């Protein structure tokens, strides 16, 4: 094969371009992505450590939390705390009355009933099923025909920055804080002797403001080192989810 001067020049130019590209990538600042998908589906599990039907749902939930197309949040309700059993009672340490209120409003909106049950999964804010049924939960995620608004998340100087894209309706934005991983040995109540090994256990929810149909840019303080957080944008009166995303980092 004959190599002429033009070929040598072309090879030299290509090598220089590759070197420059590699240097630019090495020097370019990288932001940790909040999730692989920019518009994941919100999957919410309502459960209690005092409910004897909840251990299978708690064990299944990490599968959904590991999916790149899902934001998964576990809300512990408080109405099982006073249930008596041969092992006495168990007060769920992560339960809160406000989480029970959230579940009740979902059931009024979706099931048109004031009654509630555990374990229950809500997908996208407008569909529900039993929390321990892998096939049904997966089906609701797959069948979610809406396209949530895209969210870009970055972490800067102790702040979480959220850029929410356009949507059909807009909604109210909330920052949800959660324990990334918790293990609880149950010593009383119906689940005495069992261990709950859980992920994304919600500890708090705070309003961030209004997101209009054109989108918005929001910010919030970064969570503690042992906690994670997520952004929820939801239609008024706790209707459909407009957008959801994990915090960066």
Give the model confidence (pLDDT) of 175-221 as tens digits.
999 999 999 999 999 999 999 999 999 999 999 999 999 999 999 99
Q: Distance of alpha carbon 18 from its chain centroid, rounded?
A: 39
* pLDDT value at residue 214: 96
CB-based burial, 124-143: b 16+ in 10 Å, e otherwise = bbbbbbebbbeebbbebbee
Cβ(230)–Cβ(101) under 8 Å? no
- DSSP character at residue 222: P
Q: For residue 1, is pLDDT > 70? A: no
Partners of 122 in the β-ladder: 44, 128
- DSSP character at residue 113: -
**In whole angstroms, what is the distance from residue 226 CA to residue 19 CA?**
40
pTM: predicted TM-score of the whole model, two decimal places? 0.85
* pLDDT value at residue 80: 98
Q: For residue 23, is pLDDT > 90? A: no
Mean pLDDT along residues 233-239:
97
How many CB atoms sit inside 10 A of residue 39's CB?
A: 17
Closest CA to 66 of 49, 47, 43, 99: 43
The dihedral through the CA atoms of 104, 107, 113, 119 has a sign that is negative
User: How many degrees, rounded to 5, is the angle at CA 77 between CA 72 and CA 83?
Assistant: 140
**In whole angstroms, what is the distance from residue 247 CA to residue 249 CA?**
7
How many CB atoms sit inside 10 A of residue 27's CB?
A: 7
* pLDDT value at residue 38: 65
**Three-class SS state of 225:** coil
Please tell me the class of the 33-246 domain: alpha beta
Q: For residue range 130-170, what is the model confidence (pLDDT) as tens digits?
A: 999 999 999 999 988 667 899 999 999 899 999 999 999 89
**In whole angstroms, what is the distance from residue 33 CA to residue 146 CA?**
23
Q: For residue range 31-84, what is the model confidence (pLDDT) as tens digits?
A: 334 444 668 999 999 999 999 999 999 999 999 999 999 999 999 999 999 999
């Amino acid at each position: 094969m004959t190599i002429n001067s033009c070929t040598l020049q072309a090879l030299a130019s290509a090598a220089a371009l590759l070197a420059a590209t590699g240097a630019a990538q090495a020097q370019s600042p990288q932001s940790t992505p909040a999730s692989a998908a920019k518009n994941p589906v919100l999957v919410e599990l309502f459960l209690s450590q005092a409910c004897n039907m909840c251990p299978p749902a708690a064990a299944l939930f990490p599968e959904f939390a590991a999916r790149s197309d899902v934001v998964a949040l576990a809300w512990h309700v408080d109405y099982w705390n006073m249930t008596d059993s041969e092992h006495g009672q168990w007060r769920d340490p992560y339960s809160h009355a406000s989480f029970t209120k959230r579940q009740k409003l979902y059931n009024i909106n979706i099931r048109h009933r004031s009654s509630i049950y555990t374990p229950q999964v809500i997908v996208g804010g407008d569909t529900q099923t039993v929390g321990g049924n892998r096939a049904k939960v997966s089906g609701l995620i797959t069948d979610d025909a809406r396209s949530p608004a895209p969210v870009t998340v970055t972490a800067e100087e102790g702040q979480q920055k959220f850029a929410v894209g356009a949507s059909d309706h807009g909604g109210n934005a909330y920052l949800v804080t959660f324990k990334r991983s918790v293990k609880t040995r149950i010593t009383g109540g119906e689940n005495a002797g069992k261990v709950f090994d859980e992920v994304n256990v919600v500890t708090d929810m705070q309003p961030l403001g209004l997101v209009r149909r054109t989108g918005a840019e929001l910010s919030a303080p970064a969570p503690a080192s042992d906690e994670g957080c997520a952004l929820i944008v939801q239609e008024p009166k706790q209707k459909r989810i407009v957008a959801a995303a994990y915090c960066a980092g």
